[in-house]
Amino acid sequence: MIFFETLHEHALSIDFAMLVVIWMVQIIIYPAFRNIETVNFPEWHAQYCKQIAWFVLPLMVSQILECTTSCFFVGDTCSWVRLVCVLLAWAVTFFHSAPQHRKLTIHGKKTEFIDSLLTGNWFRTFLWTIVFLASYLNY
């Protein structure tokens, strides 16, 4: 129980960290994919995927746990908005972004996959921005 209370106390920080990461990915990282030399892309992309996971996965897991428990224990509108947006962001991550990354891993640097990542990531960026705003309003 203390674990969930700690997560709840730090929800705004977790949501802010996720906001920063997703905007960096959208504005800096994914567009930079276009500038990496085709010959170096497969190795670079594989390394990127492993390294970014160390930052993103703990945030995503913490966020989903906190949102779920917040809906159960608090149950206010902001908690539900956060949970729905986080679940939608996870859906986009696992049904769109992850498959595009797999395609880049298999086929190498392909503009259509990079463009698809950028387009799909706008939806995640919007959702995680809403999550942060709801968290901030709840704070």
Instruction: Assign 5 a pLDDT band (cuts: 50, 70, 90).
Output: confident
Percent of the chain residues past pLDDT 70, beyond the cut: 100
CB under 8 Å, gap of 24 or more: what pairs does 112-121 form? 114/30, 114/33, 114/34, 117/30, 117/33, 118/26, 118/30, 118/31, 120/92, 120/96, 121/22, 121/25, 121/26, 121/30, 121/97
Predicted local distance difference test score (pLDDT) of residue 9? 85
Predicted local distance difference test score (pLDDT) of residue 57? 96
Predicted local distance difference test score (pLDDT) of residue 125? 98
Predicted local distance difference test score (pLDDT) of residue 7? 79
Distance, CA of 115 to CA of 60 (rounded, Å): 24
49-103: pLDDT as tens digits: 999 999 999 999 999 999 999 899 888 999 999 999 999 999 999 999 999 999 9
Higher pLDDT, 8 or 90: 90
Average pLDDT estimate for 116-123: 97
Q: Measured at the alpha carbon of residue 71, what is the angle toward residues 65 and 73, in degrees to the nearest 5?
A: 95
